[in-house]
Amino acid sequence: MVQIVRSRCVTLGEWRVSGAKRKPDSAGLTFVKARADRPATLPTMSLQANEGAVGVAFQQPVRAAAVLRQAGALARPGAVVVPVLAGKQLALLSPDGDDDAALAFIEAAKALGARVSFVRAGLDDNSSDLQVETTARYLSQLYDAVECQHLPPPLVSRLARSAAIPVFEGLATPAHPTAALVARLDGDSSPQVKRRSVLQAALLVSMA
């Protein structure tokens, strides 16, 4: 049984930042369900998209080859998955944390040693730049990477541009480019094992 890290709702705008309590930036930026056990001082942020973020072309030959090599090693019968992401904190940003794609991401990340928190943010296509940038800052402070599922692609792109961590757009969903790499994996492992191996390989290649 997959367990999601316990979490609680917090109002982003009410975190203490550098010792001063902020007022909420906007009524539209309501809450993020996230761990509240780490300080929320804002880091210096880069406004450029990150390597591993949404828009990274996993289908490009060099990157696809790297993912396939790693996935091939993970998918071998008897292969031992080393928890190389131990200590990493990942966020699953989605309106639904119980569908197949969400569970696939959680299982794959946890097998690599990462912890995953289900996160909700009150954002949509009409959210202001300030709302999106503020959310990206807090996510970057709390997590090492974010998987966005069932969110509008333009919104995910805006988050990725303002975040200092990898922001994936549906990495564990069937529509993601990495899903097509499963058919290129050699070996007799089941399609489910191969898909999980590709997903884990994509995480490792992007976060290593």
Supply the pTM of this predicted model. Answer: 0.74
pLDDT of res. 38: 35
DSSP string, 103-147: HHHHHHHHHTT-EEEEE-B---TT--HHHHHHHHHHHHHH-SEEE
pLDDT average, residue stretch 97-106:
93
pLDDT average, residue stretch 68-91:
93
Averaged pLDDT of the chain: 77
Sequence-separated (6 or more) residues with CB below 8 Å from residue 106: 2, 4, 92, 116
Q: Angle, nearest 10°, between helix axes 191-207 and 61-75?
A: 120
Which pLDDT tens digit goes with each residue over 156-191? 999 999 999 999 999 999 999 899 999 999 988 999
The domains found in the chain, sorted by start residue, are: 53-77+86-207 (3.40.50.1370)
Confidence of residue 54 (pLDDT cuts 50, 70, 90): low
